[in-house]
Amino acid sequence: MMMTLPTLYSFRRCPYAMRARLGLYLAKQTVSLREIILKHKPDPMLQASPKGTVPVLILPNGEVIDESLAIMKWALAQHDPQNLLVSATNPKQEAANALIHYNDHSFKPWLDKYKYADRHPQHSQQYYRQQGEVFIAQLESLLNKHSQLLANTACIVDYAIYPFIRQFAHVDKAWFEQSPYPKVQTWLRNHLQSDDFIAIMQKYPTWLDSEQAFIFGQLK
């Protein structure tokens, strides 16, 4: 069975890898999971994707998908029981694409500097946090209108973004919990307490240490 499954290289705490695992799990796609640590990237992963970042999904036909959002979209194109994809005919598609693009290309660089402020002494950690807050405030405004980012039901944009907001919140939990973003706090907390998140955050031995891959996913 393992030989016919797609292979996923993942790192449990990476938000991009979380995003990919969420997409696969919500799409009920079963994969052979190889948990890695970033300091010791396995040669087969680097051969498949020389850029050396997770996630990397290798399909049984040899096709390699090594961008987290592309993995989500591939998985949901196979099976989308909760209608999470925002189709081209949906008027919310432009907003969904814009939010994910801003998260990945504007918010994430500020998040990295906030988390590792000691590596970026040009500004204070507070300064980097304030730059990240621009996006948090935007999300708060959206969540004042409905319980999820674009509607009262979650879609791909919620799952694509919340792993990164989780990382932002965890830099300074005390600050985040008293910050003026109660809607974001509730939205994030509900996702982190969901069965989906608990399932995708299960711990596995690393592949190089155990020489074992593990079945990841849920039955259709």
CATH number at residue 167: 1.20.1050.10
d(CA 75, CA 57): 10
Domain identity same for 99 and 188: yes
State the residue for tokens 């039955």.
219
pLDDT exceeds cutoff 60 at 34 = yes
d(CA 154, CA 147): 8
pLDDT tens-digit series, residues 60-77: 999 999 999 999 999 999
Tell me how many domains the chain contains.
Answer: 2
pLDDT exceeds cutoff 60 at 3 = no
Q: How many residues does the chain have?
A: 220
pLDDT tens-digit series, residues 169-214: 999 999 999 999 999 999 999 999 999 999 999 999 998 877 788 9
Domain identity same for 107 and 178: yes
Domain identity same for 137 and 101: yes
- Has residue 78 been placed in a domain? yes
94 Cβ neighbours under 8 A, 6+ residues apart = none
What is the CATH classification number for the domain harbouring 64?
Answer: 3.40.30.10
Predicted local confidence at residue 1, as pLDDT? 38
End-to-end Cα spacing for the chain: 16
Which band of pLDDT confidence, cut at 50, 70 and 90, is reported for residue 136?
A: very high
Residue 98 CA neighbour count, 13 Å, CB half: 10
Stated pTM of the model: 0.95
Predicted local confidence at residue 159, as pLDDT? 98
Domain identity same for 98 and 156: yes
Domain identity same for 100 and 180: yes
Which band of pLDDT confidence, cut at 50, 70 and 90, is reported for residue 220?
A: low
Containing structural domain, residue 33: 2-82+199-216
How confident is the model over 108-117, as a mean pLDDT?
A: 98
Domain identity same for 136 and 75: no
**Residue 35: what are its φ and ψ, rounded to 5°?**
-80, 130
pLDDT tens-digit series, residues 14-28: 999 999 999 999 999
ω into residue 55 within 30 of 0, thus cis? yes
Domain identity same for 75 and 20: yes
Residue 39 CA neighbour count, 13 Å, CB half: 1
- Has residue 131 been placed in a domain? yes
Domain identity same for 40 and 27: yes
Predicted local confidence at residue 2, as pLDDT? 43
Q: For residue 35, what is the enclosing H or E element?
A: strand 31-35
Domain identity same for 111 and 175: yes
Which band of pLDDT confidence, cut at 50, 70 and 90, is reported for residue 4?
A: confident
d(CA 133, CA 110): 9
- Has residue 174 been placed in a domain? yes
Q: What is the DSSP letter of 194?
A: S
